[in-house]
Chain A
Amino acid sequence: MNSSLFFDISAGAYIAAMITYVIYLVLRNHTAGLVASGITIFGFVSQTIALVIRWINSYDFWMSSHPMSGVVEALLRAAPLRNLYESLIFFVWSLILAHILVEFKYKNRSLGAFVTPIAAMALLFIDISGTTKEIQPLIPALQSNWLLFHVLLSFLGYAAFGVSFGAAAAYLIVVTESKKEIPYIIGSVIISIFIIVLIGMGIDFLSLSSAERAQLIQSHFLKSTLRSESGGVAALSWVLSLAFVFAVWQVGLRLKSVLGSLNLTHTMLDEIEYKSIAVGFPLFTIGGLIMGAIWANSAWGKYWTWDPKETWSLITWFVYALYLHARFVGGWRGKRVAILSIIGFVAVIFTYLGVNLVLSGLHAYGSG
């Protein structure tokens, strides 16, 4: 059986859910909210099935090349966390899981409008970045349980940070009084940049041949728009991007009254923002930093080499440590810490994608 059908169904469901959540926000229609949650759960179930199928397929794949393996070893080696594609899928899965938990705990649906777009963007990114979806043989360095737990826990941590990011973005909108407030400006600019980069990559994708697409990030990243050879195209792209940032900044605050009327209070958002970090921080410390270091030590005898991937994980960790201290001891409150949560997630994305794609470090995922 092939997992891609179920993956496609779940991707479609998440995008439909995102749209329905937004409709729910705008119309404040209870049914729309129910439908949005329903679609999300449907997508989640479908994605879970897809993950299980993929796991089974990789298990068979592993067994075919390692017939002497034990069942447990084969299951571990086959866990669908083996390359960029699988880890992104798993990230989306964890993010949606975290979102469903938050939705049930707080009995409030509106946060979905802020979390499902992250999932949709990640899925879109998978499709346009040209990362391979094949089940590939594992190279020797990746055949390690430490690596597996490292990836598993890191991505659960990233998902928690993603929820915090969504809550922080919603928080900023709820508490901002005027468009001129600096935290609001920073927040809206960062979110616009996400969207612009994704749109830019979409245009790259459409303008490339299917052979070139595999190299999209390495050689063609934003080359058809912002980094175009032709000065005119580049200039136009920059103007349009700036206009887009401006538009997001202008329109973003309109959501304020909408959110206010949905009982999405700033105390609740602030709490979700913090609690997600309280869950994500230990997961990321243990999974991202400690297990990563143990894996490196067991594979190369060096637990820390300051390679860009490690360093960016550390930077991410510093940002969230900063968040905790600024909040609990430094007396920072509200908007300032919300910005830190947003910056933290930017660091997460950079650790996760930017390093491979932009800085291309030593790590194995770079080739995936």
Chain B
Amino acid sequence: MENKEKKDIFESIWDFLASVKLAIFVLIILALSSIIGTIVEQKAEPAQNLALLSKFFGDSAAPTVYNIFAKLGFMDMYGSWWFTSFLVIFSVNLIVCSIDRFPKTWRIIKTPQKPLSANAIKSMPVKKELTFKVGLNTVKDEFLNVLKSSRYHVSEATEEGSVRLYTQKGRYARLAVYVVHLSIILIFIGAIIGIRYGFKGYLNLPEGSSSNVLYESPTKSIPLGFTVKCNWYETEYYDGSDTPKEFHSELVVIEDGREVLKKIIEVNDPLTYKGITFFQSNYGIMPNAVGQFAIDITPAGGQEKRLWLKFGDIFEIPGTGIRGRIHDFSPALTRDRNTGRLTSYSENMVNPAVAIEFMPPDGNSFTGWILKRYPETSKIPGGHSVKLGDYWGVEYTGLQVSKDPGVWLIYLASVLMCISLYICFFMSSKKIWIEITGDRKAVSVAVGGSTNRNRLNFESEIDRIVAHVSEAIEGRSKK
């Protein structure tokens, strides 16, 4: 800068935006304000936060505090104008700072390394001096050997009575921080693309029904551009417990009246079609729905056969004359511990069971509960088996539906960030200079080096190189 006194406005704004002080300040602000958003329940019903606030500020002050907080945007903080502004400042800071520094780094990388004299080498951050009682060329060759085996490409400059060697490695590692920063910006861009051109919503699809829209809110629907149908939904439980093992739905994509894709989705394994992804998210029972029972019947020694039945339907176990009639259903059958009566302990189909009245030809009818999760309840006298396969048509599958055209950029940026962070922390840019002066009998050597990080490692690397050279020279003089 020639004119130190008068920086113009543009320049001072630029310097401000490029400064690391600003970065530190913004990082602190972002960290502190994010904390607020984890304490105040975000996008919640006012009552929830009022209750929370009255714990801290008392019942009388809570509404006032609530209003102040709401004005400050704390109730939807991460979407508030000022939080967004800080994210923008953060990005601008990052970009300007990188642009500001990049040319200098690039110059460092691109400036060719020059040979240095012993005097200059002695002022290096890492240095070593030694002498040998052998000729100049011998020492030079040994250094070349050792450096080459450490994968340094060495250049040399020869003068009367001296040789200067110089080499560097990993100079492009200096670019890694820029890639780290770039990947942060790419992640922001990916997020913006997702918000701008994508959507997130949900869709509750009853078994057997289909939809060509999804919902962003109960009143706002978005067209899918095709039709998705749920064939069936099922919760699988761990044996003997009510811990869910997997949630499955069979989904079918229908376009122009034709089935184009069919998949059984589960948590962590969604269905994607035309950039829109359907995730298994929850499930539930539709009130007042009437479904159909899938009953699997196997007469003793015979073939299993599936029947679809409604309440009150009468069926026969083939070839036996035993007739049956479905007369009760429970989504979650249990025996009440106090009264001993059978009841349902959940609205959801945790433990579905049907009560079937069996009417053998001899007239001694009896009723049995058949539980889907307990196959042993399906055995009936005479060696026949009547299993409850499903009660279909009363559950819905809850799907998260999202389209995010920015996500590939985020993944790409993540990969970039992994690689560049690794390079940034574990690879360094190293330079080594050596001057060997002397004649055919005795030489003195100055070795020096500099690195942008991990100085201690670099020092031991130089030590190792020097030790190898000394060993090799000693080995030679013994021969």
Contacts and interface: CB of A to CB of B under 8 A. Distances in A.
A282 B426 CA distance: 10
Contacts of B411: 294
Interface string A288-306: 0010011001111111101
Nearest to B243: A137
B244 interface: yes
Contacts, number: 107
Contact of A359 (B21, B23, B39, B268): B39
A359 B42 CA distance: 12
Interface stretch (B24-32, B316-324, B345-353, B374-382): B24-32
Interface string B225-255: 0000000000000110101111100000000
A311 B268 contact: no
Contacts of A325: 20, 23-24, 27
B422 A322 contact: no
A314 B425 CA distance: 20
A318 interface: yes
B390 interface: no
A302 B277 CA distance: 11
Contact of A137 (B238, B404, B407): B238
Interface stretch (B2-10, B67-75, B413-421): B413-421
Interface stretch (A111-119, A140-148, A204-212, A217-225): A140-148
Contacts of B21: 330
Contact of A298 (B28, B239, B245, B270): B270
A318 B402 contact: no
A1 interface: no
Contacts of A29: none
B279 interface: yes
A355 interface: yes
Interface in B180-210: 191, 200
Nearest to B456: A271
Given A65-B245, A140-B266, A330-B21, A278 B425 contact: yes
B418 A290 contact: yes
A202 interface: no
Given A282-B422, A326-B24, A140 B245 contact: yes
Contacts of B27: 318, 321-322, 325
The size class of the interface chain A forms with chain B is 35 or more
A314 to B, nearest CB: 6
A315 B244 contact: no
A354 B107 CA distance: 47
A171 interface: no
B267 A299 contact: yes
A72 interface: no
A298 B281 CA distance: 11
Interface in A111-158: 136-137, 139-141, 143-144
B401 interface: yes
A308 interface: yes
Contact of A311 (B37, B279, B421): B37
Given A143-B267, A299-B268, A301-B401, A285 B417 contact: yes
Contact of B425 (A281, A300, A319): A281
Nearest to B414: A290
B12 interface: no
A297 B24 contact: no
Contact of B402 (A139, A140, A301): A301
A202 to B, nearest CB: 26
B244 A139 contact: yes
A68 interface: no
B478 to A, nearest CB: 33
Contacts of A282: 418, 421-422, 425
B268 A298 contact: yes
Nearest to B20: A329
A286 interface: yes
B31 A137 contact: no
B150 interface: no
A65 B20 CA distance: 55
Nearest to B202: A301
Contact of A140 (B247, B417, B456): B247
A366 to B, nearest CB: 13
B260 interface: no
A312 interface: yes
Contact of B279 (A65, A139, A300, A321): A300
Nearest to B29: A318
Given A139-B243, A285-B421, A290-B417, A300 B23 contact: no
Nearest to A285: B421
Contacts of A300: 279, 281, 400
B410 interface: yes
A339 to B, nearest CB: 13
B30 to A, nearest CB: 6
A234 to B, nearest CB: 16
A141 B268 CA distance: 7
Nearest to A138: B245
Given A137-B245, A140-B244, A144-B268, A308 B24 contact: no
Contact of A318 (B30, B78, B425): B30
B84 interface: no
B35 A315 contact: yes
Interface string A307-343: 0100110110011011001100110000000000000
B288 interface: no
A164 to B, nearest CB: 13
Contact of A286 (B245, B277, B421): B421
A3 B280 CA distance: 36
B194 to A, nearest CB: 9
B259 to A, nearest CB: 23
A303 B244 contact: no
A306 B75 CA distance: 13
B438 to A, nearest CB: 36
B266 A322 contact: no
A308 B34 CA distance: 9
B108 to A, nearest CB: 16
B38 interface: yes
B268 A322 contact: no
B31 A301 contact: no
28 contacts: A137-B241, A137-B243, A137-B245, A139-B244, A140-B267, A140-B268, A141-B268, A143-B268, A278-B425, A282-B421, A282-B425, A285-B418, A293-B410, A298-B270, A300-B400, A301-B277, A301-B279, A301-B404, A303-B410, A306-B37, A306-B78, A308-B38, A311-B34, A318-B31, A322-B31, A325-B20, A355-B38, A359-B38
Given A137-B238, A299-B268, A359-B38, 7 more contacts: A137-B243, A140-B244, A300-B279, A306-B78, A321-B27, A325-B20, A355-B38
Interface of A: 65, 136-137, 139-141, 143-144, 271, 278-279, 281-282, 285-286, 290, 293-294, 297-304, 306, 308, 311-312, 314-315, 318-319, 321-322, 325-326, 329-330, 355, 359, 361
Top 3 A-B pairs, shortest CB-CB distance: A301-B402, A140-B267, A308-B38
